[in-house]
Structure 1
């Protein structure tokens, strides 16, 4: 497992880790009982048939109730973890509108430019984009798709969420470690799905502000509103082709 690098990741890590521990305990117990029964009730001679038991009420009660209790425990911890990782604050530090589109990503740093403009970067299958995030700031990811279902995940955040056409899925996370990470699409989305990769760099707040300033130096990396793919690949949303001339990706 990648080392957790966001505030929500440890909850997912702990759920995954202890689920495996529980599964191993149940597996060892089950295998032990199977081997014990095979040895204890084996045929000791060719002419001796072991006692045939039609049913055993205590055992039947046990192997009916035990799995139900296991499912309840797993369900309880899964719901608690889900509530933790999907908790939304009313005032995140920044919003990133993510577009997953066959077959790359667009990252909009929504309304974080001068005058409320949106700096953005666009990737291709040959030139994967980079998502830059500030450490210790809460980021709200809004996920958009203009074509098919994709799935957005940063490996060290240990969480993925589907990117669904016609629906904006959202989640928040606070990066806790400075460094370089990897991201990709986790939903088979077409012939170049395997190339739908992106890099992630978590930097200090000052470096993040400098990065946004650098993006704004190039007019091709600034839009009046988030560029959401599909029909907005070549034009800004809300503008007709004439008004958007010169604002091409």
Structure 2
């Protein structure tokens, strides 16, 4: 009879314990802003066709890691409280070792977590890196100390940018940064190259970056799905004015994109832009293998 009463009391306490826990979780989730729900990443899930996938991987990983942390912290606190030295006790506690179930647990569970993170990361990276067949727009981007050149390969036009400068008050002049214009909802292939040292092409809100390595071409494939203006920068320390190697990406309608290309060809952006391509002949490293100038070719 005593055991039955104890069991009933224990079940009642468990039910009452669930209520405040559920309320706390509901309040926390209800108070989350959109910024918090996407793990404080910039941009949003609709910026490109890949950003929702990246946000999902990031947020899910943190939820799993937080759960692991709570369990770990809980066990540490529980062990510290339950097995603490009590008044009147002296000497060392009972020494235990070779607890096979516990050892199997803390070996198998981390292994499962690592394999799971690897599998989901590899799946998403493969999807992001999958080449786009017959892209609507092909862009060639050259990183150079400390600015950017953009070749609109599909439309035979180019824009050659200059390094960012300062306003009189010491802030960066963002009105004259190099601009890369892209049409919304069109598949884009960007060929990424360097004219001198290692740079990194990073459009912050696109949540993806790619290194620019001298003598090697890298590629990015995506579809911009939201009209807007997005900040870009070099994400690889490349010298004295690395912090000023900035650019802007403008995602516009197809009509505005066509109008921009025509304005480039018409010379409205001269001497920075025009018809044709600005190619590898402006590279600083002219003796790299594969460019037709080295003794190996």
Q: How would you bin the TM-score normalised by the shorter chain?
A: 0.7 to 0.9
Structure 1 stretches (4+) deviating beyond 6 angstroms?
A: none
The match for 1:209 among 254, 258, 261 is 258
The match for 1:159 among 199, 203, 208 is 208
RMSD: 1.9
Aligned mates of 2:54, 2:185 — CA distance in 1: 19
Whether 1:190 and 2:243 are equivalent positions in the alignment is no
Unaligned residue ranges in structure 2 (runs of 5+)? 1-40, 166-175, 286-290, 292-297
Relative distance call for 1:97 and 1:185 in structure 2 (3 A) is same
TM-score by length of 1: 0.87
Aligned mates of 2:48, 2:160 — CA distance in 1: 23
Aligned mates of 1:177, 1:224 — CA distance in 2: 28
Give the structure 2 partner of residue 43 of structure 1: 85
The match for 2:160 among 117, 121, 130 is 121
Give the structure 1 partner of residue 274 of structure 2: 222
The match for 2:220 among 168, 171, 178 is 171
Assess if the C-alpha contact under 8 Å between 2:157 and 2:264 holds in 1. no
Query: By how many angstroms is 1:125 displaced?
Result: 3.0
Query: By how many angstroms is 1:7 displaced?
Result: 0.5
The match for 1:9 among 19, 44, 51 is 51
Q: State the structure with bigger RCO (CA 8 A, min sep 6), 1 or 2.
A: 1
Assess if the C-alpha contact under 8 Å between 2:228 and 2:251 holds in 1. yes
Aligned mates of 1:199, 1:146 — CA distance in 2: 20
Aligned mates of 1:230, 1:223 — CA distance in 2: 20
Larger Rg: 2
Superimposed CA distance per residue, residues 178-210 of structure 1 (whole angstroms, 9 cap, x where no aligned partner): 011111111111111111111111100000000
TM-score by length of 2: 0.73
Assess if the C-alpha contact under 8 Å between 1:42 and 1:50 holds in 2. no
Which range moved further: 47-56 or 154-163?
47-56
Unaligned residue ranges in structure 1 (runs of 5+)? 233-237, 239-249
The match for 2:114 among 60, 71, 76 is 71
